[in-house]
Amino acid sequence: MLLFEAGARMQCRCSAGGNFYFTLVFSAIRCSRGLRSSSSFPLPYRDAALRRRLLLLLLVALLLDLVPAFTGQQHPGNRRGRRPEGKRPPGKHPEDTPQTSTQSSDASHRAIPRFIPPSRARSPREAAYLAVLAAERDQAFIADYLADWSRRKRPSSSEIGLATLVANVACREAASLDFAIEALAGAEDVRGGRRSVKLKGRQRAVLRTALAQYKYCTRMPLYAIVNDAVELAKEYGGGIAFASFTNALLRKLHPDPTSLDKKASEADNTRVHQGENFVHGGADGDIRPLPLPEGNSEKALATRLSYPPFLVKALVQEFGKSHAISIMKASNIFPPVMARSRIPEAKAPKLSGEAIEDKEEKGMGTEVHSAVDLSPEMAASSLSDSLKRGKASWETVESLPMALHAPLPLPYTLGVVHSDVLLQLLTQNDGWYITNGTPAGLLARLAQGAAKRVLADSAAEESRDPVLQVLDVCAAPGGKGLAVWDILQGQGRRVSLVMNDVNGAKKARIAENLARFGLSQEVQLTVGDGASLSKKDVANQTDSFVGSVIEQNGFDIVVLDVPCSNAGVLGRRPEARWRLKDGVFLKELETTQFSLLKHAEEELLSKTNRHAEIWYLTCSILWGEDEGMVEKACKELGLEVVVDAENEGRPLRMKVLPGEGLKGAFDGGFGCALRRKASPHM
């Protein structure tokens, strides 16, 4: 009876999830002491033989329980069959094989791997979730993760677009979506105030992607969103318990909020919680509303517009609150797809809206694309904007941001692509290049008249035809270098272009683009760190004639598109904003930017050509990376901003803010042309 009682107690402790090993060891120690001092045991246990048998039983039980830890066998008292951590049976593993409907839906007992490959995704929504999870863990950029998924699974463009749209929103609007999660959960502390819902990263990602679908995929019914989220919760979030929580939380959303009467909607959807108003905001029915904080305090703006408080404060200080709000709103919109022609005054593509509809109905539209034909960014833009019936397929950009205005027109045709079919045709045409309009516009202004400026002294020598030596230091994927080549080729001078980047993978990307446009033999490629690349390094990787000229004279133009905060392109790069949580990261970037400028001036820029220029470019709109860096370079490196004599003597220093230009099609960015200060004796 006593042995049965002891065994029952051990079994209860094991089943209750207690520390079984501690219990056994403690009992063994107590029994061993009891052998020496019978007074420490109750009366029934004072028999010496019984104490020895009990001690032996405990030691045997301990040994039996330790055996599975070394053999990987299931412990008989473990009904879920948990394996000791680090031990897996041979063959397929749960994280390598997607869970099917016939498998257990409770995933809480199996470890989720830190990195989940894109090949595991079985649907666009799962791909979006895994991309968000990888970005959250700093394992991959969303665009790269989804590009890998599209290469492996070859989904249709609509599926790529859905995955990209949901993943970008879930990452970009993380703060506002988290606020909505807290509000929907209705978590309150004992004092009636708000308390945060404790969720793991993989659980929060499930809810963010579900709310992103609800907000922007307005044609998707709520039950479908909930069902998808529940399946993801079972698979990745921890099992049935979290799946039930997910289901209950998402069922609080209105299935069709746009059908509510406006006054009733305002009355029903306004909540007061700990002194703050929760309002549901949308834009003319284009999105479904979610709870958001009201007011224009920096804290409310950081949550409602989903920005780190540090970045909100920096933008408000630099641009003022009203302008900063406009910039942040513009950066929360996925920019449209743009294309430029490679020759001046090219005719805009002609493809009527009726033709687009006909081709889509015949299977030439959204379902025709493969991963090679369409990037995730293009697909997302086409899903959210381009597939609206009755919209023109092409819109030529005639309204430029103020910074890009000049007496001369752009040296190419630039336009917004509104058709999935037209986009495919342009990607297959070597006369057009899919581009971001802002860097293309900045380079166009820097390059216009550059041959005349830079070769001013050499042009006077009739005995020789000078060649413009150009280096693009951080060239991948090749769009900037290609734009420079196209523009300078039209200025009557021969151009020798070298495109460089830091590793072989980026060099391969550049080579792929050059091959597509037939420039593999015209442009030379090198590999090297821009902060230490020397003229000799370039000479050793290029042909002997070009290398000897470069090693002796250096470059007439050095294009320096430096690593930056991406504060001007947050609509395209959703992860970028969350790196700006404090000033530490910015200071590191500014240090890198200055070192690149210093090395370009000291080592790469021609010392024999006093008109040689550095074209400094960023995708940022922050003063420290843009105007502040130029001021520092002028003060400490002896540089000056180049003046455009053909444009009323204006300095070649330009900043474009997000949301400018044709219907807000342009991102933010900065460009400036620098050269060494003229000697007072010259």
Whether 363 and 417 map to the same domain: the answer is yes
Average pLDDT score over the chain: 78
Q: Which of 418, 435, 452 finishes a domain?
A: 435
What order of strands is seen across the sheet that includes strand 414-417?
394-396, 414-417, 337-341, 432-435
Q: What are phi and psi for residue 455, nearest 5 degrees?
A: -105, 35
167-181, 626-640, 657-671: segment of lowest average pLDDT: 657-671
**Is the CA virtual torsion 184, 190, 192, 193 positive or negative?**
negative
Instruction: Determine which helix (DSSP H) or strand (DSSP E) holds 338, and give its type and residue range.
Output: strand 337-341
Where does the pLDDT of residue 491 fall: very low under 50, low under 70, confident under 90, or very high at 90 and above?
confident
Choose from 172-176, 275-279, 292-296, 676-680 the range with maximum mean pLDDT.
172-176
**In a 10 Å sphere around its CB, with 0-12 CB exposed, 13-18 middle and 19+ buried, how is residue 262 labelled?**
exposed
What pLDDT shows up at residue 6? 42
Between 179 and 418, the more confident residue is 179
Q: Which of 435, 450, 474 finishes a domain?
A: 435
Asked whether residue 80 is domain-assigned, the answer is no
Between 312 and 405, the more confident residue is 312
55-59, 380-384, 564-568: segment of lowest average pLDDT: 380-384
* pLDDT(650) > 50: yes
pLDDT in tens, 351-363: 644 454 445 444 4
DSSP secondary structure code for residue 194 in this structure: B
What pLDDT shows up at residue 243? 95
* pLDDT(67) > 70: no
Domain with 578, as residue range(s), is: 437-681
Asked whether residue 54 is domain-assigned, the answer is no
Where does the pLDDT of residue 16 fall: very low under 50, low under 70, confident under 90, or very high at 90 and above?
very low
Asked whether residue 34 is domain-assigned, the answer is no
pTM score of the predicted model: 0.77
Tell me the average pLDDT across 223-230.
95
Cβ contact 629:671 at 8 Å: no
What gap in Å lies between CA 374 and CA 424, rounded to an integer? 7
What gap in Å lies between CA 617 and CA 242, rounded to an integer? 47
Whether 578 and 430 map to the same domain: the answer is no
Task: Give Cα 571 to chain centroid, integer Å.
Answer: 9
H-type alpha helices, 367-497: 376-381, 420-427, 437-447, 450-454, 479-489
* pLDDT(602) > 70: yes
Asked whether residue 501 is domain-assigned, the answer is yes
Where does the pLDDT of residue 78 fall: very low under 50, low under 70, confident under 90, or very high at 90 and above?
very low
Whether 494 and 573 map to the same domain: the answer is yes
222-236, 581-595, 646-660: segment of lowest average pLDDT: 646-660
Between 379 and 368, the more confident residue is 379
- Encoded tokens for 371: 């991963």
Dihedral of the alpha carbons of 380, 382, 383, 389, in degrees to the nearest 10: 170
Whether 525 and 651 map to the same domain: the answer is yes
What gap in Å lies between CA 199 and CA 182, rounded to an integer? 11
Quick count: other Cβ atoms within 10 Å of Cβ 317? 11
46-50, 369-373, 417-421: segment of lowest average pLDDT: 369-373
* pLDDT(139) > 70: yes
* pLDDT(69) > 60: no
Cβ contact 131:142 at 8 Å: yes
* pLDDT(230) > 50: yes
Quick count: other Cβ atoms within 10 Å of Cβ 261? 9
Residue by residue, DSSP assigns 220-268 as: S-HHHHHHHHHHHIIIII-SHHHHHHHHHHHTTS-S-GGGS-HHHHHHH
Listed in sequence order, the residues at least 6 apart from 1 whose beta carbon sits closer than 8 Å to its beta carbon are none
Any idea what the Cα angle at residue 221 is, between residues 220 and 225, rounded to 5°? 80
What pLDDT shows up at residue 680? 59
Q: Give the C-alpha distances (Å, rounded to integers) separating 447 from 485, 559, 597.
A: 10, 11, 19
Tell me the average pLDDT across 53-74.
58
Between 280 and 70, the more confident residue is 70
Q: Provide the annotated binding site for S-adenosyl-L-methionine.
A: 474-480, 501, 529, 561
Where does the pLDDT of residue 255 fall: very low under 50, low under 70, confident under 90, or very high at 90 and above?
confident
H-type alpha helices, 238-396: 240-250, 262-268, 298-304, 309-319, 321-330, 353-361, 376-381
Tell how strand 557-561 and strand 613-618 pair up: parallel
Cβ contact 425:325 at 8 Å: no
What order of strands is seen across the sheet that includes strand 276-280?
271-273, 276-280, 291-293
Phi/psi region, residue 449 (left: phi>0; alpha: psi -120 to 50; beta: rest), is left
Residues in the chain: 682
Whether 644 and 623 map to the same domain: the answer is yes
What pLDDT shows up at residue 130? 96
Between 376 and 345, the more confident residue is 345
**Inter-residue long-range contacts of 104-107, CB under 8 Å, 24+ positions, other chains counted:** 105/234, 105/239, 105/240, 105/243, 106/234, 106/239, 106/240, 107/234, 107/235, 107/236, 107/237, 107/238, 107/239
- Which active-site residues does the annotation give? 619
103-112, 436-445, 603-612: segment of lowest average pLDDT: 103-112
* Percentage of the chain modeled with pLDDT above 70: 71
Whether 510 and 547 map to the same domain: the answer is yes
Cβ contact 96:184 at 8 Å: no
Asked whether residue 109 is domain-assigned, the answer is no
pLDDT in tens, 142-191: 999 999 999 999 998 789 889 999 999 999 999 999 999 999 988 655 45
Tell me the average pLDDT across 126-132.
96
Asked whether residue 181 is domain-assigned, the answer is yes
* pLDDT(337) > 70: yes
Whether 281 and 342 map to the same domain: the answer is no
Where does the pLDDT of residue 61 fall: very low under 50, low under 70, confident under 90, or very high at 90 and above?
low
Q: Provide the annotated binding site.
A: 474-480, 501, 529, 561
What pLDDT shows up at residue 664? 82
* Percentage of the chain modeled with pLDDT above 90: 52
What pLDDT shows up at residue 62? 61
What pLDDT shows up at residue 663? 76
* pLDDT(312) > 70: yes
Asked whether residue 164 is domain-assigned, the answer is yes
What's the CATH number where 629 sits?
3.40.50.150
Using DSSP, state whether 11 is helix, strand or coil.
helix
What's the CATH number where 274 sits?
1.10.940.10
What gap in Å lies between CA 323 and CA 658, rounded to an integer? 11
Whether 284 and 347 map to the same domain: the answer is no
Whether 419 and 448 map to the same domain: the answer is no
What pLDDT shows up at residue 191? 53
Asked whether residue 128 is domain-assigned, the answer is yes
Where does the pLDDT of residue 47 fall: very low under 50, low under 70, confident under 90, or very high at 90 and above?
low
315-319, 459-463, 500-504: segment of lowest average pLDDT: 459-463
Q: Give the C-alpha distances (Å, rounded to integers) separating 358 from 253, 354, 373, 394, 422.
A: 38, 6, 20, 17, 13
Between 215 and 647, the more confident residue is 215
How many alpha carbons fall within 13 Å on the CB side of residue 642?
28
Whether 506 and 645 map to the same domain: the answer is yes
Whether 650 and 515 map to the same domain: the answer is yes
Q: Does the bond joining 477 to the residue before it have cis omega, within 30 degrees of 0?
A: yes
The domain total for the chain is 3
Whether 417 and 487 map to the same domain: the answer is no
Q: Give the C-alpha distances (Å, rounded to integers) separating 418 from 185, 660, 664, 675.
A: 39, 18, 14, 40
- Encoded tokens for 358: 């006909």
What gap in Å lies between CA 431 and CA 437, rounded to an integer? 16
What pLDDT shows up at residue 111? 54
What pLDDT shows up at residue 577? 96
**Is the CA virtual torsion 155, 161, 162, 168 positive or negative?**
positive
How many alpha carbons fall within 13 Å on the CB side of residue 294?
13
What pLDDT shows up at residue 351? 63
